[in-house]
Amino acid sequence: MTTSREPDTRALYVISVAAQLAGMHPQTLRIYERKGLLSPARTSGRSRRYSERDIALLRRIQELTNEGMSLAGVQRVLDLERQLDDARERIAELEARIDALVREMNERVEAVHKQYRRELVPLPRTALVRFSNKVI
């Protein structure tokens, strides 16, 4: 199941439909593919098929180029965004692992404290005997 943050990866659209959905000419998609900006799936007959993820990527490329960025700059930005996504995913994994270890540590500490409680016998205050430094 995909979420709204993760576009569908099923390759459904032919190049003309993908170009229309992304608001660009089909030749532009071919250029982006040659430049390595995207890599659509291929059918057994070698025709291109684009997914929702590909369409979202095309829109991102268009956004960056409309801001005046070169295709080389777009490629660098996309690479950095992928690295950032990977780093965020890794951070989330590490945070989950830390949380699990903290829970385990707290459980172990509590188990040790419970063990102490069984071994210690409380004495009433009147049962305490004080010794002084005097020799009797």
Q: For residue range 2-20, list pLDDT tens digits in order.
A: 455 566 878 788 999 999 9
Write the CB contacts of 26 (distance below 8 Å, at least 6 apart in sequence). Answer: 15, 16, 18, 19
33 within 8 A of 39, measured Cβ to Cβ: yes
Q: For residue range 100-115, list pLDDT tens digits in order.
A: 999 999 999 988 888 7
The rounded distance, in Å, linking the Cα atoms of 106 and 120 is 21
Q: What pLDDT is stored for residue 2 in this prediction?
A: 46
Q: Which two tokens stand for residue 62?
A: 């268009």
Domain locations in the chain as residue ranges: 1-68
Taking 70 as the threshold, does the pLDDT of residue 133 lie above it?
A: no
At residue 35, the 3 state secondary structure works out as coil
Taking 70 as the threshold, does the pLDDT of residue 129 lie above it?
A: no
Mean pLDDT of 65-71: 95
The rounded distance, in Å, linking the Cα atoms of 75 and 32 is 10
Write the CB contacts of 54 (distance below 8 Å, at least 6 apart in sequence). Answer: 11, 13, 18, 38, 40
The letter for the amino acid at 96 is A
74 within 8 A of 35, measured Cβ to Cβ: no
**Under CATH, what is the fold of the domain 1-68?**
Multidrug-efflux Transporter Regulator; Chain: A; Domain 2 (1.10.1660)
Taking 60 as the threshold, does the pLDDT of residue 58 lie above it?
A: yes
pTM of the model: 0.66
Q: For residue range 11-46, list pLDDT tens digits in order.
A: 788 999 999 999 999 999 999 999 999 999 888 888
At residue 132, the 3 state secondary structure works out as coil
Q: Residue 87 — φ and ψ, nearest 5°?
A: -65, -40
